[in-house]
Chains A and B, each alone.
Chain A
């Protein structure tokens, strides 16, 4: 949990007349997640292993086995759709 910061001025409090002061800004703030994508141009791609089908055979594909070649890695929503 983030600690309250020392602030010089009192923060505004209050709410509608007749209701308790339990308003939004007194609740714990939603935690802010720092999302860092692992993909960046000019940087190495993360490796993975996945099952695959190729020319009548079921195989296991490891991305790093394609080092030394150009790779076009394409994702698509589902079989029987277009690319």
Chain B
């Protein structure tokens, strides 16, 4: 925690105006990390785990990387936006591969079976 403050005051506040806005938690001993399956016992550190938790407390997605590779923050935000859209549609809409805000969603149902190819093209996964 004290190191969080040092990090925030001496470095992060130089990257983000006003410093980090969200809570920076301390998990000394990795007790929380063990429950989440992201604590590396041999190295004694947390790996780069990231969990998306919805307003009901339900885990909607997670990603875990070993320490040397950083995360794609925009991808995490995209996933949250996709889960928020699905939630606000009460499950009537789904976001296909490559979806981002503004792109076509799918309406799963009997009419869509075998017809995804008509409304979703392969290049939509990459643009």
A positions within 8 Å CB-CB of B: 37-48, 50-55, 58-59, 61, 63-64, 66-83
Min CB–CB distance A59 → chain B (angstroms)? 7
Residue of A nearest to B54 (CB): A70
Q: State whether B51 touches A37 (Cβ < 8 A).
A: no
| Number of interface residues, chain B, beta carbon within 8 A | 53
Q: State whether B62 touches A39 (Cβ < 8 A).
A: yes
B89 located at the interface, meaning its Cβ lies under 8 Å from any Cβ of chain A in the complex: no
Q: State whether B26 touches A50 (Cβ < 8 A).
A: yes
Residue of B nearest to A79 (CB): B7
Q: State whether A61 touches B59 (Cβ < 8 A).
A: no
Using A40-B59, A48-B35, A51-B1 as known contacts, say yes or no to A72 and B11 having CB atoms under 8 A apart.
no
Out of B2, B8, B32, name the residue touching A50 (CB < 8 Å): B32
Using A51-B1, A52-B26 as known contacts, say yes or no to A83 and B48 having CB atoms under 8 A apart.
yes
Find chain B residues with CB under 8 A from A47 CB: 57
- In the complex, given contacts A45-B58, A53-B23, what are 11 additional A-B residue pairs having Cβ atoms less than 8 angstroms apart? A41-B60, A50-B26, A51-B1, A53-B2, A58-B5, A66-B53, A74-B71, A76-B46, A77-B48, A77-B67, A80-B11
Q: State whether B57 touches A70 (Cβ < 8 A).
A: no
**21 pairs, A vs B, C-beta closer than 8 Å:** A37-B37, A41-B61, A42-B60, A44-B56, A45-B51, A48-B31, A48-B32, A50-B27, A51-B26, A54-B23, A63-B53, A67-B55, A70-B55, A72-B80, A75-B46, A76-B46, A76-B48, A80-B7, A81-B67, A82-B70, A83-B48
B95 located at the interface, meaning its Cβ lies under 8 Å from any Cβ of chain A in the complex: no
> How many angstroms from the CA of A58 to the CA of B4 in the assembled complex?
10
B113 located at the interface, meaning its Cβ lies under 8 Å from any Cβ of chain A in the complex: no
Using A37-B37, A48-B35, A82-B70 as known contacts, say yes or no to A69 and B55 having CB atoms under 8 A apart.
yes
Find chain A residues with CB under 8 A from B7 CB: 79-80
